[in-house]
């Protein structure tokens, strides 16, 4: 995996340290296609309608160059309007932005994949996505029912996504919330390696085996919920607090910096100051001592455990969702 640096403007590490930090550059990861993926993405999950558009515009003006979206977030139209304004106003060009979105589980039937993608492109006001992910390893019907992975293998959906890539509608395809077993199945059944696996990842859920598998197989790993998905426990953890104090940074910045040492990360905020602080986390370099202390925090704690897929009439269980991982 190739890591390079590209210049991005940044405001500050925190409100009190504006002028004391030299501006560094945003790390980028080079995907097998050659696409350069900025290590920090603005996440749009749970970003409220009416706020997300302004957050996107502010983020792009600050220097963010990666936006993470999804069909199911139900805010792509507002994101698209913000993108169009920024393109039209000369804030950036389309080719300077890395745009990720996700295919929802009710559109996994191969014949539904391209129409779903085309609707998303229209909403987002772009002609292509830089990365398109299968959102969960779960198959739903458009009517709201479930299909098992035997009835509709995930590989069939992935092959349909590859056709969209061949048509120039997306530059890279990948997965989200996939285990090592499910990624291996995709590779074995299609001969195509997902470019990215986006998963929950933070010091309480470090997933070293999954990370090692992805690195060995050329799959880039992106972390979501890096701050614990709204639970203040990680942000208030004593170890993180001590490391933050050492680096004159906030706990959130330490968590984001840690995530960026292993791959990329999607972090949501609609607050302008927080957006700048999150972007400035790229300026923090954790040392080996910091990384060793954080390594000891792992307790395999999922905040988004997928329990909402386990219900009456569903073929999905916690066991077959996570494959014991």
Query: Above pLDDT 70, what percent of the chain?
Result: 92
- Look up the pTM and report it: 0.93
Q: What is the dihedral of CA 186, 192, 193, 197, to 10 degrees?
A: -60
Structure tokens given for 248: 């004159």
Q: Is the pLDDT of residue 306 over 90?
A: yes
144: alpha, beta or left? (left if phi > 0; alpha if psi -120 to 50): left
Q: Is the pLDDT of residue 22 over 70?
A: no
Assess contact for 30 and 36: CB atoms under 8 A. Answer: yes
Structure tokens given for 146: 């479930």
Question: Which residues have CB under 8 Å from 22's CB, separation 6+?
Answer: 283
What's the average model confidence in pLDDT over 144-164? Answer: 98
The confidence score (pLDDT) of residue 46 equals: 79
The closest of 59, 112, 104, 68 to 86, measured between CA atoms, is: 59
The confidence score (pLDDT) of residue 112 equals: 98
**Catalytic residue (choose from 73, 108, 204, 316):** 73
What's the average model confidence in pLDDT over 99-124? Answer: 98
- Give per-residue pLDDT as tens, 157-206: 999 999 999 999 999 999 999 999 999 999 999 999 999 999 999 999 99
What's the average model confidence in pLDDT over 77-82? Answer: 97
Query: Above pLDDT 90, what percent of the chain?
Result: 88
- Give per-residue pLDDT as tens, 239-257: 999 999 999 999 999 999 9
The confidence score (pLDDT) of residue 230 equals: 82
Structure tokens given for 127: 């002609």
The one-character DSSP state at 231 is -
Active site residue 73: yes
Query: For 155-159, 220-224, 225-229, which range has the lowest pLDDT when averaged over its residues?
Result: 225-229
**Mean pLDDT, the chain, as a whole number?**
92
What's the average model confidence in pLDDT over 137-141? Answer: 98
Question: Which residues have CB under 8 Å from 111's CB, separation 6+?
Answer: 160
Q: Is the pLDDT of residue 1 over 70?
A: no
CA 308 to chain centre: 20
CA 42 to chain centre: 9
In this prediction, residue 231 has a pLDDT band, given cuts at 50, 70 and 90, of confident
303-310, long-range: CB within 8 Å, 24+ apart, which pairs?
Answer: 303/200, 303/205, 303/225, 303/228, 303/229, 303/230, 303/231, 304/200, 304/225, 304/229, 306/136, 306/138, 306/177, 309/136, 309/138
In this prediction, residue 2 has a pLDDT band, given cuts at 50, 70 and 90, of low
The closest of 1, 12, 74, 3 to 276, measured between CA atoms, is: 12
The confidence score (pLDDT) of residue 181 equals: 98
- Give per-residue pLDDT as tens, 65-74: 999 999 999 9
What's the average model confidence in pLDDT over 306-318? Answer: 96
The confidence score (pLDDT) of residue 26 equals: 87
């Amino acid at each position: 995996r190739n890591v390079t640096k590209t210049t991005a403007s940044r405001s500050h590490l925190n409100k009190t340290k504006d002028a004391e930090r030299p501006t560094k550059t945003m790390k980028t990861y080079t995907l097998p296609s050659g696409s350069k993926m900025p290590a920090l993405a603005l996440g749009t999950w749970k970003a409220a309608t009416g706020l997300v558009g302004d957050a996107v515009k502010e983020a792009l003006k600050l220097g963010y160059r990666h936006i993470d979206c999804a069909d199911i977030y139900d805010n792509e139209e507002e994101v698209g309007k913000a993108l169009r304004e920024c393109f039209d106003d000369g804030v950036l060009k389309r080719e300077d932005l890395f745009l990720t979105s996700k295919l929802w589980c009710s559109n996994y039937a191969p014949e539904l994949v391209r129409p779903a993608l085309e609707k998303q492109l229209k909403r987002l006001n772009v002609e292509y996505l830089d990365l398109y992910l299968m959102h969960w390893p779960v198959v739903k019907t458009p009517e709201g029912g479930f299909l098992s992975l035997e009835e509709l293998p995930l590989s069939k959906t992935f092959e349909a996504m590859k056709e969209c890539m061949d048509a120039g509608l997306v530059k890279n395809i990948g997965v989200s919330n996939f285990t090592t077993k499910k990624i291996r199945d995709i590779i074995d059944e299609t001969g195509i390696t997902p470019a990215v696996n986006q998963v929950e990842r933070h010091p309480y859920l470090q997933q070293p085996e999954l990370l090692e598998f992805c690195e060995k197989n050329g799959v880039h790993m992106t972390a979501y919920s890096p701050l614990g998905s709204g639970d203040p426990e990680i942000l208030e953890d004593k170890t993180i607090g001590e490391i933050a104090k050492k680096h004159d940074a906030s706990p959130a910045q330490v968590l984001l910096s840690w995530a960026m040492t292993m791959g990329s990360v999607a972090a949501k905020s609609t607050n302008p100051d927080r957006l700048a602080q999150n972007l400035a986390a790229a300026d923090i370099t954790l040392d080996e001592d910091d990384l060793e202390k954080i390594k000891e925090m792992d307790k395999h704690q999922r905040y988004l455990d997928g329990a909402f897929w386990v219900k009456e009439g569903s073929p999905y269980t916690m066991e077959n969702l996570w494959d014991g991982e």
